[in-house]
Amino acid sequence: MKDYIIRATAANGNIRAFAATTTYLVDAARKTHGLYPVASAALGRTLTAAAMMAIDLKGKDDTLSVVIKGGGPIGNIVVVSKSNGKIKGYVDNPRVELPLNSLGKLDVASAVGNQGKLTVIKDLGLKEPYAGQVDLVTGEIGEDLAYYMAYSEQQPSAVTVGVLVNPDGSVKAAGGFIIQPLPGAPVEVIDEIERRIYQAPAISTMVDNDMKPEDILKQILGPMDMKVNDTVYPEFFCDCNRERLEAVLLTLGKKELETILKEDGQAELVCHYCNTVYNFDEEDIKQLIKYARS
């Protein structure tokens, strides 16, 4: 079953809801970066949440970034998502290995750490991007994003994201959901959703059992009249290109480029998001020096 994300409303428009299946998306990230299981879980949870959050962006070139710096061995987690489902991301250390936690699960919280910040940046093509930042609560990512939405955007939210990894390290199932009661949502409705979230199987189990995003929301929302407004197909995709990397080199300035030319005679740049290697030979650097600012 192909990955997809839905955005829906329920309970007479009092509830906004998102659900996603992201198994192929997360496995593509794993293959690109050689992620070890706990890194697949940490990056996969962040990719899944950001892909759902980005559906709310209005413009097709708007981006939503999530940056998590928790002080744990995985280093930074960086994800950039667009509303059309195109999403990229990386972790500083893809080969982090940790024992399972006390529940026998991948120990995402210890890999990420909880002594740091979670930042969400929305670039809406305006002069200044919007940025909101909160302290990490647990390092489990779902709870941290829920805290960000409540604190920074004054939007109470339940955020559940999960990744199940096969014994061979490939991704078995991944997905998530976000539930947001709007102002005026009846308290019985919120109580009912909380009860249902508590009783639901783990999100990765639901995806592993072939539940579609609609089935996941039905599990959480029960008989509340659900209306699906949008469907988006997520894809791990990097939009880097040679021109963009040339621009990065140009920002170094003339003097620095001349030093590179003299000392190395070439430059090699690697895109963090997709590991594509861009080589610039002597001639390329000489050309760049012509355009660089002194």
Contacts with Zn ion by CB under 5 A lie at: 238, 240, 271, 273-274, 276
Select 67 or 109, whichever has its Cβ closest to Zn ion: 67
Check: CB of residue 171 under 8 Å from CB of residue 159.
no
Q: What is the dihedral of CA 75, 125, 253, 270, to 10 degrees?
A: 40
CB atoms within 10 A of CB 99: 9
Select 39 or 238, whichever has its Cβ closest to Zn ion: 238
Check: CB of residue 235 under 8 Å from CB of residue 85.
yes
Select 250 or 274, whichever has its Cβ closest to Zn ion: 274
Select 121 or 240, whichever has its Cβ closest to Zn ion: 240
Residue 188 to residue 182: CA distance in whole angstroms: 13
Select 114 or 276, whichever has its Cβ closest to Zn ion: 276
Minimum distance from residue 247 beta carbon to Zn ion (Å): 14
Dihedral of alpha carbons 99, 104, 106, 111, sign: negative
